[in-house]
Amino acid sequence: MRRLKILLYWLFVNKNNVSTAELLKFLVKPTIGKIAAREIKNIEEKDAFEITFHSFPHKLYWPKGFFLNRLHQVIAETFDPADWHFYQKEHTEISDGEILVDVGTAEGLFPLTVAEKCSHLYLVEPGQIFSECLQKTFQPFKHKTTIINRAVGNEDGEISFDENSLDGKVSEAGGITRIGINKLDTLLEGKKITYLKADIEGFEQEMLKGAEQTIKSNKPKIAITTYHTENNPDDIISIIKAYVPEYNYYVKGIYEETPKPVMIHFWI
């Protein structure tokens, strides 16, 4: 049903920079479970799931309280360059010496796959459960990794957060617990960055409003998700272009629930 809906969106609503060849490849691609099985070498259950991969030597730690099938989705998005959720599309590839800010790091698979290339990693993750796993995962890179256990938005203060949700939802109304929230400008305090990745479950626009000085002063490559219900892709483009008019950009992918693009990629 998902593939049929996307086909219909592509035919009758919006192609979102998806070519005919890319659409056909999507329609016949293996399931995310099969893609993940191809990449995973071993899973060992300890205080967290310790996962090893065929393609690189570093271990990933996944919380035992969360279902492994959600990790399968992340693996498919991270290892398949044809996936529309893939961050390193044309013009937003990770280069040697990159200073990466990963907003909404979750389990950290994306930064783990590029950690050796990066000169520093800022991992911004509001969930305490995921943050504890990140400490283990990035132990080999602790000399160049900063884990920031905060939510990110357009304010400095506190916000509600559902710690037990894999979606990592922050909200101004209701929630399991209260956690700290900061502008990205506050968290980075003028630090140099070269790459900004963001996937924060519909809070992307609010994050961008609090990242004005960071974006203006650094002009990083940006790979940002736009498909969540709360996001308006046109507004995201307007915010970033208002900060730095010379940014180039393109949208990519079709979300199954709406014809929104999955990602927008920005570069100078």
Mean pLDDT of 114-137: 97
Domains defined for the chain, CATH in brackets: 2-267 (3.40.50.150)
Q: Average model confidence (pLDDT) for the chain?
A: 94
Distance of CA 263 to the CA centre of its chain: 10
Query: What pLDDT does 164 receive?
Result: 74
Nearest Cα residue to 69 out of 22, 37, 104, 111? 37
More confident of the two residues 245 and 162: 245
Residue-level pLDDT at 174? 47
Give Cα separations from 126 to 106, 123, 180, 198 (angstroms).
Answer: 8, 10, 8, 13
Give the number of other Cβ atoms within 10 Å of residue 86's Cβ: 20
Please tell me whether the overall predicted TM-score, pTM, comes out greater than 0.85 for this model.
yes
pLDDT tens, position by position, 182-211: 999 999 998 999 999 999 999 999 999 999
pLDDT band for 165, please (50, 70, 90 cuts): low
Q: Can you give the pLDDT at residue 168?
A: 55
